[in-house]
Amino acid sequence: MAAKARAYMAEHPGVGYQKALDELKSPRSWSGPYPDRPEDLPSWLKALGIADINTHDFEKGWAASSATNSLRIPIGYVCNDPDPDGQRIRYTATPELAYLDIAENRVGGSGPHGALHGMTGSGLTYLEAGLVGGLAVLHGPDKARFLLLDGQGGTAFHGFSRLPHTIGNYSRLRENWELFNEICQGIAGEVARRRALLARFSAADAFSYRKMREGDPQLPEMPALVIVAHNLLDRKAMEPKQASVFDTVLDVGQAAGVHLVVCNMGHSEVVPAEWAKSWTFGISMKTVSGGWSRAVVGDDSAEMIPFQIARLRCDGSESGVRTFVEFDVEELVGDEPADASAKAIRRLIARMAGPPRPCQIRWPEQG
């Protein structure tokens, strides 16, 4: 903060230190400066190993990934911070990729649970789309399944129902607590099913069970279940039975192979301290809440970054806090007309679209 204030003072002669701090914290600074993106940066699709979206063999990539425990994906470009001496004021993306592995710590990941946060306009929904889309490209539906929960209008995961990984994609849940109750019952039932299988076959956790299943494919499956909740999990607004379901997920999810990613856009909700202590990774885009920045990445740094920049905190083998520039998941692909269908994320979903793989549990009808 002090270095940025000095840099601001150097650019604005006559401005004092406190005035510089006030200006940096002002809403006028929220929209910029945007990070520099050199032209030689690989696109999001190329970062995922896709040279040609029209011919890419997703099944081949899924088969190669199936033998590993990793759930690692690229999430953006490692970023050079502004020079503390004021020589470089803007953040600059580098060709080096930033990665996140939501697999458990015991197998080299930074999971199983974490949080994504950012104010409106920061780029959070792009980050969420990149997270789910990246997992879908690099890890097949036999390895990872998605349960996508949106408390609001449904734009966060629009179209993701078409992925064969998706077992449920629900929106406007803050307006339909009855449906949310059914979903919570479904989550509780799936966790109970997994724990029963572990007990029945004397497996210590989901990884041990999957190794056992390699020798006996007739055993019921247990892919990773990734629950991504957007602007939904406000503990104060939830009923106790609903909150207890997510308490259980955070408590036993590591053994049962269930991951929870809490995504919050805005700053009105109180940081859920009971859950924050279970987050083993966190990404914060621009935020106006020091409390959320500290809860997600461990310091106040996300208050001062511009839009499209993120701070990443990881436990495990890739521990520490890094700064990165998020991918543009809506970049235009190919020579087609510049409409929504030409955006990278839409082309990706269209290419992977297919009937959902069989699921052990029946979920409520999707809204």
pLDDT digits (tens, 9 = 90+) for 144-183: 999 999 998 767 899 999 999 999 999 999 899 999 999 9
Is 138 assigned a ligand-binding role in the annotation?
no
Beta partners for 310? 324
Same domain, 281 and 223: yes
User: Comparing 67 with 165, which gets the higher pLDDT?
Assistant: 165
Q: Which domain holds residue 293?
A: 31-352
Whole-number Å distance between alpha carbons of 32 and 37 = 14
Domain count, the chain: 2
Whole-number Å distance between alpha carbons of 93 and 77 = 6
Closest CA to 346 of 111, 155, 98: 155
Above 90 in pLDDT, residue 360? no
Same domain, 149 and 256: yes
User: Comparing 125 with 268, which gets the higher pLDDT?
Assistant: 125
Residue 366 lies in a domain: no
The share of the chain scoring above pLDDT 90, in percent, equals 58
Same domain, 7 and 78: no
Q: How far is CA 293 from the centre of its chain?
A: 16
Same domain, 35 and 21: no
Is 121 assigned a ligand-binding role in the annotation?
yes
Token pair of 219, please? 């055993």
Same domain, 186 and 238: yes
Q: At what angle do helices 240-256 and 177-200 cross, to 10 degrees?
A: 30
What does the pLDDT read at residue 336? 59
Is 118 assigned a ligand-binding role in the annotation?
yes
What does the pLDDT read at residue 28? 38
What does the pLDDT read at residue 150? 94
- Using pLDDT thresholds of 50, 70 and 90, give the confidence band for residue 318: low
What does the pLDDT read at residue 222? 94
Is 134 assigned a ligand-binding role in the annotation?
no
Same domain, 338 and 269: yes
Tell me the pLDDT tens digit for each residue of 13-35. 677 777 666 655 553 343 356 78
What does the pLDDT read at residue 91? 85
Same domain, 63 and 13: no
Same domain, 151 and 20: no
> How open is the CA angle 72-73-74, to the nearest 5 degrees?
135
Instruction: Residue 306: give its domain's CATH number.
Output: 3.40.50.300
Whole-number Å distance between alpha carbons of 282 and 297 = 6
Same domain, 226 and 339: yes
Whole-model pTM: value is: 0.88
- Using pLDDT thresholds of 50, 70 and 90, give the confidence band for residue 88: low
- Using pLDDT thresholds of 50, 70 and 90, give the confidence band for residue 89: low
What does the pLDDT read at residue 346? 94
Is 119 assigned a ligand-binding role in the annotation?
yes
Whole-number Å distance between alpha carbons of 174 and 236 = 13
What does the pLDDT read at residue 37? 85
Task: Kindly list the strands in the beta sheet with 72-80, ordered across the sheet, starting from the edge strand earlier in the chain.
Answer: 92-101, 72-80, 320-326, 309-314, 281-284, 114-118, 258-265, 224-230, 144-150, 166-170
Residue 358 lies in a domain: no
User: Comparing 120 with 269, which gets the higher pLDDT?
Assistant: 120
Above 90 in pLDDT, residue 63? yes
The share of the chain scoring above pLDDT 70, in percent, equals 83
The segment with the largest mean pLDDT, out of 184-198, 298-312, 332-346, is: 184-198
Same domain, 154 and 285: yes
Is 120 assigned a ligand-binding role in the annotation?
yes
Same domain, 97 and 13: no
Q: What is the arithmetic mean of pLDDT over 186-200?
A: 96
**What single string gives the DSSP state of each residue in 307-356?**
TTEEEEEE-GGG-EEEEEEEP-TT-B-TTS-SSGGGBHHHHHHHHH--PP
Same domain, 16 and 76: no
Whole-number Å distance between alpha carbons of 89 and 22 = 17
Q: What is the arithmetic mean of pLDDT over 35-60?
A: 93
